[in-house]
Amino acid sequence: MRSVARIAVSAAAVLAVGAPALADTAIASAESSATIMPFSQKLRRCDHTQFEYLGGAFYGRAQAQLRVQGSDVVADVQFATGRPFTSYDVRLIQIPRSPAAGCPAGAPGVASATLVTDGAGAGSVTLRGPVMPGATGAWLSLTRPGPFSAQPEEFYTTDLVARVN
């Protein structure tokens, strides 16, 4: 009888402590429809195919949350452990698109911004652009231009293509 009473008291304590946390989790997930987008050190073409034999050599950590708001696609990008006081180019690229079409800043289906890191190498930026007609997904690219080459010196892209329609 004592063990049943102890179990009942323990269960009540767990519910009393855990119920508010479970309620907060349910509310947060109901309000949030963003897709979490981790980055890796892979250089990609505009159609999201990866360049072979190019590896990263830096230690930045990037992450983004991508969501659709009305007729816009929005990405909140956070970056840590980059080079201090440095500018990085960030692009939100919608697909499908031809690899020959390119994806420079200002191209249809491409939103771009500059992320500038602070003294600790951290920074954040929000990108917003209209959903391109026919777009099914979007991904992100974060690069630091090379001083003597067209190839970026530092690059991070999302492995995941988030659905936008």
Q: What domain range is 151 assigned to? A: 34-163
Same domain? For 46 and 86 the reply is: yes
Same domain? For 76 and 15 the reply is: no
Number of domains in the chain: 2
Whether 25 has a pLDDT exceeding 70, the answer reads no
Q: What is the pLDDT of residue 2?
A: 53
Selection from 34, 40, 30, 114 nearest residue 73 by Cα: 34
Domain of residue 73, CATH code: 2.60.40.10
Same domain? For 65 and 146 the reply is: yes
- Whether 99 contacts 49, CB under 8 Å: yes
Whether 24 has a pLDDT exceeding 70, the answer reads no
Predicted TM-score (pTM) of the model is 0.77
The tens digit of pLDDT for each residue in 108-156 reads 999 999 999 999 999 999 999 999 999 999 999 999 998 888 889 899 9
Residue 149 or residue 161, greater confidence:
161
Region 55-81 average pLDDT: 92
Same domain? For 124 and 99 the reply is: yes
Find the angle CA(63)-CA(120)-CA(126) to the nearest 5 degrees: 35
Whether 105 has a pLDDT exceeding 60, the answer reads yes
